[in-house]
Structure 1
Amino acid sequence: MTDTMLQGISDPLYRTKFGSLPDIISDWLSESGGLYKKDVLEFGCGEGTAALGIAIRKEAQRVIGVEILDVFEQCLPLAQAQLGITELPANLYLRKIAPGSPLTVFGTFDVIYSWSVFEHVSQELLRPAMASIFEALNPGGHFFLQIDPLYYSPNGSHMMPWLREPWAHLTMQANEFRTKLFDAPKTEAKVRNEWAVYIPLEADTSAERAALWETYETLNRVTAPYLRRLAESAGFEVVRDYRTKTEHEIPGELLDAYDREALTTEQVVLLLRKPR
């Protein structure tokens, strides 16, 4: 049934979130039994497509998706359009929370995961968020944490659809960077679809660019080594630490000011475990 559902998806991005992403997380957790019959929480679920994929395709016992925005209300309409289902499964719960809210109000979990969300956590909430996730895991439970792109990498501004120059956010003055973002050509429909979590569908160009600027301004500056130290200081054991690098040539002026490792590390994926 689930293979048939995947074949019927017309939107490639939806197929990635519903199909590929749950597969990746399940593979990383294969030594501990994957996601089957597990209690799972997604930290920053967006519109809830990945959580839906885990609930249906991986047959998790319970999937809670938490989000600070209202975008999860799009989960069912998107699923109706892409999967043809008329109601969400009984094992899926999508909830809005305030930034910094404790996660234990939803119980405890075998697996918590976060995909390209942790870079959007406010700097002062990074340590409390990590502690909250640790607290909400069962002993022996796992936290799968992925960030791509990291702030100091070539695409770290997240604004590459509009400003394609690598490291533009580090080489340009802030006012010049903002002006170029606001003056960039009209956003393609495909990009608007990919950015639906951050850009309201009804937003005009001015509102869209304001939303993009706010997204950029509120990115934290976490690096891969700091993220690992943050996890370990919360009590996590690091099971696996995977990083990917850029092949872009670094401008010389950046090497005068920044660490090469920070500039070249684009992605970090950590598999963390709460000790028994």
Structure 2
Amino acid sequence: MKWMLKLQERISGLAPWDAQKITDEWFRAHFEYAADVVHQWMDGVLDMRTARFLNFGCGDGITDLSLVLRHGATAIHGVDIRREYAKLPRIAREQLGMARLPSALTFETIRPGASLAGKRALVDGIMSWSTFEHVQRDQLAPILADLHACLRPGGYFFLQIEPLFYSPYGSHLRRYDEVPWHHLLASEDELWQVIQNHDGPIDAAEVDFGFADFGVDGYKRFVFKEYQALNRLTADELVAFAQEAGFRLERQERRNVEREIPALLLESYPREWVLNNEIMLLLRKE
């Protein structure tokens, strides 16, 4: 029970952990890089040690675990439509030698589009890492409005998307296809054929802990369906949706790639779209 775990932590502290044990590159990227970015954006405006956080689209919870262990967060509630976070106790044991998760972490499975407002106390901060490109377009406005209602006045929301759809690898298929902008130049049938024909290792940093659940062929089908469901948001659209939901834009950073753009693309898409790979926003509720 949670109260027993909290009591144990008061007496003996958090379970020991050792980052030197990390061998998985997906884990390393989310435990180190992703958590550090969230901390850099949020720590200047909120006290990580006292703030209550909501992670919308928490995935496997690795970033949340790191924010507790490495950056002092004491209350993070992660929500997701999948239960990848259920693997976290095993992952933490294998990658950190950690016997139990911190009591600061709680997780919840939600239905797509389900309202969160009013079900828990208002939070001080919300974070979302590479999630909003997967939200159905007609759900963007209501979900952002709902998250606005979950945040206390004066609270902050860090929102990141990478890669954006029109960027070189915005298909999220780079595990199998290294041709930049291929999703904008080829048909779906041609893309699927490339994925089907792929035979060989996948970049270790791109293999999440759900891979084993699907198997090689099942994972190919899964990521292709994810590609087909992408909402194709641009950075400008994301900012507009957030502001329409009532958030004030405090800070933004757009990261572009440096590549020669095929002439054919520029006939159909603005240069900014095809070069803009990532957007990071810091939003505030008045």
After alignment, is 28-37 or 94-103 more displaced? 28-37
Counterpart for residue 169 of structure 2: 155
Give the aligned residue type for 1:142.
Answer: Y
Whether 1:190 and 2:196 are equivalent positions in the alignment is no
Partner of 2:27: 14
Distance (whole Å) between structure 2 residues aligned to residue 120 and residue 95 of structure 1: 18
Shift of the alpha carbon at 1:4?
6.7
User: Residue type of the partner of 1:130?
Assistant: L
Alpha carbons 2:15, 2:99 under 8 Å: kept = no
1:221 to 232, 238, 250: 232
Query: Is 2:125 the counterpart of 1:111?
Result: yes
Q: State the secondary structure of the residue aligned to 1:106.
A: coil
Of the candidates 151, 155, 176, which is equivalent to residue 190 of structure 2? 176
The Cα of 1:34 is off from its aligned counterpart by 4.1
* Alpha-carbon distance, 1:189 to partner: 7.4
1:169 corresponds to which letter in structure 2? H
- Asked if 1:44 corresponds to 2:38, the answer is no
Structure 2 SS opposite 1:47: coil
TM-score of the pair, normalised by structure 1: 0.92
Q: Which AA in structure 1 matches 2:269?
A: Y
**Conserved? CA contact 2:252–2:280, under 8 Å:** yes
How far apart, in 2, do the equivalents of 1:259 and 1:230 lie? 20
Say whether the 8 Å CA contact 1:28–1:34 is kept in structure 2.
Answer: no
- More displaced, 53-62 or 78-87? 53-62
Question: Aligned to 1:23, which of 36, 51, 69?
Answer: 36
Could you say which residue in structure 1 is the equivalent of 2:216? Answer: 205
User: Where do 5+ consecutive residues of structure 1 fail to align?
Assistant: none
Is the CA contact (8 Å cut-off) linking 1:42 and 1:65 kept in structure 2?
yes
Partners of 2:215 and 2:42 in 1: CA distance = 42
Contact kept, 8 Å, 1:178 with 1:213, in 2: the verdict is: yes
Any conservation in 2 of the 1:116–1:148 contact (CA below 8 Å)? yes
Question: What's the offset of the Cα at 1:181?
Answer: 1.6
Measure the CA separation in 1 of the matches of 2:99 and 2:48.
Answer: 24
Against the structure 1 CA distance between its residues 22 and 3, is the aligned structure 2 distance closer, same or farther, given a 3 Å change threshold? Answer: farther
| 1:102 aligned to which of 86, 108, 115 | 115
Q: 1:136 aligns with which of 150, 163, 181?
A: 150
Alpha-carbon distance between aligned partners in 1 of 2:17 and 2:107, rounded to the nearest angstrom: 25
Show the counterpart of 1:72: 85
Q: CA deviation at 1:258?
A: 0.8
- What do you get for the CA RMSD once the two structures are aligned? 2.0
TM-score, normalization by structure 2: 0.89
CA 1:32–1:3 in structure 2 vs 1: closer, same or farther (change >3 Å)?
farther
Q: Deviations over 1:67-93 (max 9, x none)?
A: 111211110000011121222111210
SS at match of 1:88: coil
Report the CA distance shift for 1:2/1:223 in structure 2 as closer, same or farther (over 3 A).
farther
Find the aligned partners of 2:197 and 2:176 in 1 and give their Cα distance.
9
**Distance in 2 between residues matched to 1:62 and 1:3, nearest whole Å:** 19
1:243 aligns with 2:254: yes
Alpha-carbon offset, residue 6 of structure 1:
2.7
